[in-house]
């Protein structure tokens, strides 16, 4: 049986070929791989502003409510005081290491082997008071982490929202608690599903005290039937007991299938990843029409990128991109050309 992910990758490939048959595709430099099997469908990633070389990632829908701390090479970070109980994998090497540790403590071989085999796989940082219905992106303001439970494939969900979580110290914390959940609703959606399937969201970013969302559009009634275009929304309220109705900021008819977004550390650039391209926008001089003005766009090779849904900044000149297949790529922004519509 062909997996759903393989069907998605195949569809992306043919869609890209049909839309851009004559357009060359850029091959990114692969710089890491998340070997940690608990991250099975990496859907969002963001770099910490509090801790050096730390990135927070999460899985797509169906996983436990948890996040994972990684370094830039994709290695999972486990708190030091828990490394005797947990390992990144129950591999032969991990068991051998645990066995040596036990023997150093002057325990017999039988007891040491039993202790080594009791070492569990690191489950990540569980978030209490939360549920992962369809987590799609993660952002930070430097203090809080914002997790978007906004995946809406069928455009029928009425429980969309954002979890607000204080960023934990990845070297010293295990479980954490969500401070609040901000329910959100789109101002134009009155039916569930809507007549126009323009209410799926996989891209969120934080800028100047506000959370923003960029929608991903589908043909009505077709989970894999996509449409060109995106809408930028802003979250202006922080109610926890009723819907926060989003504010529509602007539309962009050229972006297609946005799956992740992030603002540069200096706050001056917005990067948006799609299945087949990366967009770069400058911060507007006035207002927050991020998707207007001069833009840069780089077509990506879908056979390399596969299900690309995660993007973050390494620094103000370098992007980190990831896919659900756990590959990590770096992209200097200097490689992204100016966007010229129709060319």
- The domain locations on the chain are 4-78+122-335, 79-121
pLDDT at 201 over 60: yes
CATH code given to domain 4-78+122-335: 2.120.10
CA dist list (Å): 274 to 37, 138, 161, 169, 208: 24, 16, 22, 31, 24
Residue 2 CB contacts under 8 Å (≥ 6 apart), including other chains? none
Is residue 129 within 8 Å of 57, Cβ to Cβ? Answer: no
Task: Of 186, 163, 178, 79, give the one whose Cα is nearest residue 123.
Answer: 79
Question: Looking at residue 122, what DSSP letter applies?
Answer: P
Task: Of 236, 283, 206, give the one whose Cα is nearest residue 44.
Answer: 206
What is d(CA 316, CA 318) in angstroms, rounded to the nearest whole number?
6
Helices and strands in the chain: count of H runs, count of E runs = 4, 24
Give me the mean pLDDT over the 47-55 stretch: 97
Task: Of 33, 69, 42, 40, give the one whose Cα is nearest residue 53.
Answer: 69
Could you identify the residue written with the tokens 């036990």? Answer: 102
Q: pTM for the whole thing? A: 0.87
The pLDDT of residue 20 = 52
Least confident of 91-95, 173-177, 240-244, 253-257: 91-95
Query: In this predicted model, what pLDDT tens digit does every residue of 284-341 receive, in sequence order?
Result: 999 999 999 889 999 999 989 999 999 999 999 999 999 999 999 999 999 999 998 8
Task: Of 320, 315, 280, give the one whose Cα is nearest residue 298.
Answer: 280
């Amino acid at each position: 049986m062909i997996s759903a992910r393989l069907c998605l990758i195949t569809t992306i490939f043919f869609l890209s070929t049909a839309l851009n048959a004559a357009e060359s595709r850029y091959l990114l430099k692969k710089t890491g791989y998340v070997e940690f099997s608990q991250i099975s469908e990496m859907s969002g990633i963001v770099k910490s502003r509090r801790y050096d070389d730390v990135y927070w990632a999460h899985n797509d829908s169906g996983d436990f409510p948890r996040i994972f701390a990684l370094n830039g090479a994709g290695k999972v970070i486990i708190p030091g005081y828990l490394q005797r109980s947990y390992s990144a994998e129950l591999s032969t090497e991990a068991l051998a290491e645990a066995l040596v540790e036990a023997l150093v403590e002057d325990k017999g071989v039988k007891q040491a082997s039993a202790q080594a085999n009791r070492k569990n796989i690191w489950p990540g940082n569980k978030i209490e008071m939360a549920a992962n219905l369809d987590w799609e992106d993660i952002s930070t303001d430097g203090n809080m982490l914002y997790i978007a439970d906004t995946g809406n494939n069928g455009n029928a969900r009425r429980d969309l929202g954002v979890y607000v979580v204080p960023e934990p110290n990845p070297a010293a914390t295990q479980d954490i608690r969500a401070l609040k959940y901000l329910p959100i609703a789109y101002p134009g959606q009155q039916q569930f599903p809507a007549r126009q399937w323009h209410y799926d969201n996989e891209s969120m970013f934080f800028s100047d005290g506000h959370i923003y969302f960029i929608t991903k559009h589908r043909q009505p009634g077709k989970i894999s039937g996509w449409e060109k275009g995106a809408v930028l929304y802003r979250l202006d309220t922080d109610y926890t007991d009723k819907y926060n109705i989003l504010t529509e900021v602007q539309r962009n008819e050229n972006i297609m299938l946005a799956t992740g977004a992030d603002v540069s550390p200096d706050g001056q650039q917005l990067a948006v990843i799609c299945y087949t391209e990366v967009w770069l926008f400058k911060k507007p001089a006035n207002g927050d029409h991020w998707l207007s003005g001069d833009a840069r766009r780089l077509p990506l090779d879908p056979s390399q990128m596969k299900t690309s849904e995660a993007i973050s900044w390494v620094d103000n000149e370098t992007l980190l991109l990831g896919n659900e297949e756990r590959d990590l790529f770096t992209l200097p922004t200097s490689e992204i050309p100016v966007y010229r519509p129709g060319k």
